[in-house]
Structures are given as C-alpha cells and as structure tokens.
Amino acid sequence: MPQPIAISTISHINWDDLDTDKFADEEALIADLLASNPLSEGQRRSAVRLGRDLVEKARATGRKKGMMESFLEEFGLSNSEGLALMCLAEALLRVPDAATRDDLIAEKIRSGDWGAHKGQSDSWLVNASTWGLMLTGRVIGAPRALLKGPGKFVQGLIRESGEPVIRAAMMQAMRIMGEQFVLGRDVEAALKRGQRIVSSGQAAHFSFDMLGEGARTQADADRYFEAYSNAIDQVAKSKHPKAPPEQSSGVSVKLSALHPRYEAVNESRVMDELYPRLRTLCDRAAKINMHLCLDAEEADRLVISLKLLERLTAEPSLQGWDGLGLAVQAYQKRSTRVIQDLIKLARTSGMRLMIRLVKGAYWDSEIKHAQVSGYPNFPVFTNKQNTDLSYIANARAMLAGSPSIYPQFATHNAHTYSAIELLAADAGVGEYEFQRLHGMGEALFDAADAGGKVRIYAPVGAHEDLLPYLVRRLLENGANTSFVHAFLDPDVPVEHVVEDPIAKVEAGPRRHPRIPTPPRLYGPERSNSRGLDLSQLSARDAISNAMAEMRARPVIAAGAIVSGEALTASGEDVLSPGDGARIGTCLEASESVIHQALDAATDYQKDWDQLGGAKRASILRAMGDTLEENAPRLIALMAREAGKTLADGVDEVREAVDFCRYYATQAEADFEGPTRLPGPSGETNHLQLHGRGVFACISPWNFPLAIFTGQIAAALAAGNTVVAKPAEQTPLIAF
C-alpha cells in the first residue's frame, strides 16, 4: 500500500477532509445554498431581464454561429448521423489497414439519412460535408446495376474509381472537420490566428489548451509534456515581459496528460513523478509571470489536484508568481468548500491564485461512474438548476475573496453572465474576467459587448487528440438542459432560454427524480453492492489496516470446514505472489475429510431444498451483506494472495455480493411453492422446481472470490447443497 509522502504544508488545510462532503445529501446542500441568498430579489429579476435582452440582441443580429455551434446544431449526438460521424472521426484516422477502413466507412455512412441534413445548416462547411457524406452514402449503398443513366454519372465515376478515392476523401473530410474545432495544429499557428481574433475585439486573451489528456503510457505523457513545454515557451515569446498574467495569454494544463497513473491511490508516485514535471512547467511560466491553469477533471481527482497545487504554492522558486490557477467545478457538491479553502490557501501562502469557475464538463460520466462503482451517492448535483445555483453562490464567494484570488468565470450562459455582472458591481470588484471556449459563445459576448473582458480557451493540437474534447462538448451541448442548445434553437422562446434558476430550485424537486442514487440502481429488485471509493483516504486506510492485521495474524484455511476438526497451523505455507511473504497456512483436506464433506452435503440436501426459495433467499442476502461488511479484509487478502490490484479487489467483492443478492431474488421468484399450470377442466397440474442434489464448485484463481461465490450461490439458491474446492493458488480467499 503506497504511503502518502510528507509534503511541507503551509496552509494546514487537510484536503482529505473534503471527502466527507463528496457524496453529501443533495437536498440538504441545496437548502443551505438557498438559505445563503446568493442573489437578492432585485438581482434575480435584473439577471433574468439582462439575460433575456442579451439573447434577443444576439438572435436579432443574425450573427453567424461558430463552427462548433453549427455542427452541434445539425448533428450533435442525438441523431444517428451525428453518432456515425463521431465514430468515423474517432476511428478512421487510427485504423491501420485500408480494407477495415473501407468497411468502417461503408457501415457508418450507410447507416445515416444524410439527405435529411442537406442544406440545413447555416455553415457552408457543415453543408458541404453533408453533401459529401450523402454522395458517399449513395455510392456505397447503390448496387452496380443501378448506377446507370446520365444522372448517375458522378456516382458511377466514383464507384468505378474505387474505394481508395472514397477513403481518401473521407479521411480528408474528417481531418478538415476536426481542425475546425481547434485554433491551430500547433501553438505558432494558434497564436497567429488568436492575434486576429484579439484585433477584431472578440477577446482580450487566450488560454491555450494543448489537446491530450488521460495519458495511458509513459510515451504519451512524455509527448504531452513536450507539447506543454513548447507551448509555454511559444506563448512566453509573444508575451510582454511586464504584462501581468491577467492581462496576457497563458496555457491550460490537464494533469492527466502528464502521468499515466495520475490517481489518488498512487499518491506517492504522483508526488514523486508527476509533480517534478508540473513544477518544471510552472517554473517556465513563472519566469515570465504567465498564467498557467490546472484544468479540473474527474471528481475522483479533485483532492490530489489540490495537494499538487498547495505544494506548488510552497515552492521557493515560484514565490512572486501570481499566474498559477485552478479550475473549480460548481457541479461538485464540494465546490463551496473548495472555493473557501482556495481563498484560505491564497492568503496563507501569499500567492495570488487565479480561479476559473466552471460548471463542469464530465457530468454524464460522473453519474455513470458513481453508479457503476456503487458509491453511496453522486459527487455532483443531479439537477441542472442546482448547478446553476451553486455556480452563482460560488461566484459571489470568489468575488468576496478577491484580490487574494483573481476570479475567472467560464460560461456561455446569458443568465449566469448577467448574474455575475450584477454580483461584481454589488461587490465593487472590477478585477475579474469571463472565459469562453473557442468556437462557442461569440454571439453572447458580442451582444454584451464584453470582448475586452473575455479570455478564450482554445484547443491546440492534432486531430488525433481531439476526440475526448469534442465528445465532451457534444454531450454538454447536446443536452436539452444546455443553454447553448436552447439558445441555438429559434423555436425556443427567449423566456425559456433564460429563466431564473433559483425559482426553478425553489419550485423543486431538489434532486432529479429519475436519476436513482447508486445504491438504488436496480430499483426494488435488489440493492446495488457497495463500492469503496479508493480516491478517498479513509477507504485506502481501511484496506491498509486490514493488511496490517493480516501481517500480524496470518490466515489459516482448513480443507473442509464441515469436518469439525480443530484448526491447526500445521499445513502448508501460502505465500504472496507479490513479495513471497507468508500470508497464511492451508490445511489440505484428506480423502476421509472429503468423504465426510460429501456425506454431510448429501444428508442435508433434502432439508435445504425443503426450506423453500424465500428462506434460502434471506440466507443468501445475509451472506451478501456479510461479504460486503468484510470488504476491506477481502480486498486486502485478494491483493496479498492473488496479486490483485485494489480496484480489481473492490470490483470482485462487489460482484460476489451482487451474485448473492441476484440469486436470492431468483430463489424467491422460481423456487417458492408450486405454480398452477393451465389445463383441461377436471385436471390440475402444478409445477414446482427443486434442487437436484450435491453440486461441486471449483473456483478459478483469477476470480477467486466472485466466481467462487457465484457458483455456490446459484446452486444453493436452487435448493442444492455444495461441496466447494478453491483454486490451488487461492485457498485462503475461498476459505
């Protein structure tokens, strides 16, 4: 178990404490936020009025939409064509051989109704692409025999010239489309294009985001590190040395790009290996007092990112730099505390921090991840208006924390924008900025005539690295709760585009009624097995303690529990495959013990069968609950005996627990009492299922707990008794 390394802390903030709020009760939190009255009654009315004015003005100018917006409006992820395009964009440039590429194109293009999008967009590029796709679809879809007559000449020509032409054209089309979403393939190009945007008055500065995140290998991480280093050097060259960070362009860094194991569970590796790289980047940025923002990523990474930030603020070489920044996601339940703690950190460290408030870009995956992981609740709000309220409350706190922090508000939402302007005026704070994404929000900030206060977050890089970014934008803006979605749709009246989120929160419900919390994922049928959130120190400590206990008291497994023989430690040593240490003793069953076990199982089978499905179900449920209660010990044992990672261990215990609960439900449904069958009058027939006898269950070493338990639970549920044998490598877990 990696031990956290000692870091010189200066702020005395215990970041791990934030975890106590990670899965807080949404309704209670929202009640607190409402009670804090982030906007007065008058401000609420004004924010709505201002927001609506802006939307009307923006719509009236008939301003051309950004490429991103046009694409989203026409395709998005809500139709099969949009999905087909995303699949192509994702896969096409990576598929190594021509034949597979042809198959992929054929499958994806054939599946769409491209004609329905023909000429629909007000972007020529989107329309041109649609034409190309439609033509390709016809050519691919048409049998040769139909390609006759003058009207079919072009299609025939393409058809005859063969797949390579289509393939080359598609590859090129994907490249062109991909490049529309980035400001440049490299920083040099992005800086040049950015300069034109600044000259046009649309923005004051940029934050260049080097595409690339979630490094899977060290080679990826090295490549991204080089890209960030180069970006900082290039942006530095274009910066006036005396310009403060808030008045010049900077860069945004995704920490997950810098290390393939950027996870809380690897805290010491993160501190030993990722941190020095981050400090190198910060040293370069600090030399010229440039803005460098750490982007916010998944909720599980929040605490570790704060620890990294704090360590940077204590770095002697960085003293005097006031360009260090962090993004905070308002959709996280912990955001209010994070903002308070960051203000405290800025004050105690003496380093002014630039804080970018965002709503959060990973909402869908946070919801899924929490459900799949069996967390006790979600780390994020489930109602959009709750996030809006949290954003406004955090904005107010940030303005109050200025100038210790420099507030940066990233949003494309006219209401949010208006609320912030009102709050800033009320607080008498003039030093803050807005941020928008490249290709989005131009119309809003033009209508507000706020280009001079805007920093554009601009992705830079190659098409190959674009996809995660693009999919986040599509998910975010494809949602019908999204401001951009409503704003773009001329059929949505302005009163619906801009509403008072606080009024919506007040009207309730205070959490989304159709998003079950993770424990209730399976509804009334069974409760979801409980996960352990390894990003939390308390969960990791529980496993560490179980390991320590195991070291102090090795496990003894007896070959057949049923024998009733006293357990002694005179069996064979069981050694850990990781370090060869002895973790326990296994007493193998003798032949006579095996016979005893078989006899006992045979004798008892009738009684067990007669217990009925419902009674067996309650025993199985109790078995699941007991496994769940012992999760830390089982995970520790699986790590020691089977060499499992902790995360795999968590999943395995959960699967075992779920098997018990799942088969309990089956036992109740199928094995409780006879069912009457339909039949001719005068005759009654009943069907009743019974166990068949004694089952032998043998576990595989690679799923020593889950599959072992699953086999046993299924056989028991159906009224059988079981004689079980573990894999030779994992007797202690089976025991």
Residues that bind ligand FAD (CB under 6 A): 295-296, 327, 329, 331, 358-363, 380-384, 386-387, 410-413, 416, 435-437, 457, 476, 479, 481-484, 512
Q: Which residue has the tokens 């009943």?
A: 686
**Which residue's CB is nearer to ligand FAD, number 117 or number 333?**
333
- Asked if residues 419 and 39 have their Cβ atoms less than 8 Å apart, the reply is yes
Triad 538, 544, 549: Cα angle to 5°: 125
Cα separation of 217 and 308, whole Å?
A: 21
CB of 184 to ligand FAD, least distance (A): 17
Q: Is 469 exposed, middle or buried (CB count within 10 Å of its CB: 0-12, 13-18, 19+)?
A: buried
Residue 207: CB minimum distance to ligand FAD, A? 7
Rounded Cα distance between 438 and 67, Å, is 9
User: Shortest gap between Cβ of 437 and ligand FAD (angstroms)?
Assistant: 4
Q: Is the dihedral of CA 702, 703, 705, 707 positive or negative?
A: negative
Q: Which is nearer to ligand FAD, 408 or 711 (CB)?
A: 408
Measured from each CB, the residue nearest to ligand FAD is: 359
CB of 320 to ligand FAD, least distance (A): 25
Round to whole Å and give the CA distance between 108 and 92.
11
Of 85, 70, 69, residue with least CA distance to 467: 85
Residue 297 vs 315, nearer CB to ligand FAD: 297
Residue 566 in tokens: 């006293």
Per the structure block, which two tokens stand in for 17? 């404490």
Looking at the Cβ atoms of 208 and 225, the one nearer to ligand FAD is 208
Least distance (Å) from ligand FAD to the CB of residue 72? 12
DSSP assignment of 683-706, as one string? --EEE-----SEEEEE--TTSTTH
CB of 712 to ligand FAD, least distance (A): 41
Closest to ligand FAD by CB, 180 vs 435, is: 435
> 661 to each of 25, 404, 649, 668, 703, how far by Cα in Å?
26, 53, 19, 11, 18
Is-contact 323 290, C-beta < 8 A? yes
**Closest approach of ligand FAD to the CB of residue 499, in Å:** 11
Nearer Cβ to ligand FAD (349/435): 435
As a whole number of angstroms, the distance between CA 419 and CA 203 comes to 20
| Residue 439 or 632 having the CB closest to ligand FAD | 439
Distance CA 406, CA 376 (A): 35
Q: How far is CA 260 from CA 263, 362, 644, in A?
A: 9, 19, 19
* Residue with smaller CB distance to ligand FAD, 101 or 356: 356
- The DSSP line for 407-418 is EEEE---HHHHH
Q: How far is the CB of 160 from ligand FAD (least distance, A)?
A: 47
202 or 576: CB nearest ligand FAD: 202
Task: Select 75 or 434, whichever has its Cβ closest to ligand FAD.
Answer: 434
Minimum distance from residue 130 beta carbon to ligand FAD (Å): 26
60, 84 Cβ separation under 8 angstroms: no
C-beta separation of 389 from 33 below 8 A: yes
Between 155 and 249, CB nearer to ligand FAD: 249
CB of 556: closest distance to ligand FAD in angstroms? Answer: 50
Nearest approach in angstroms of CB 434 to ligand FAD is: 9
Q: How far is CA 583 from CA 77, 413, 486, 580, 648, in A?
A: 52, 58, 61, 9, 19
CB 250 within 8 A of CB 242: no
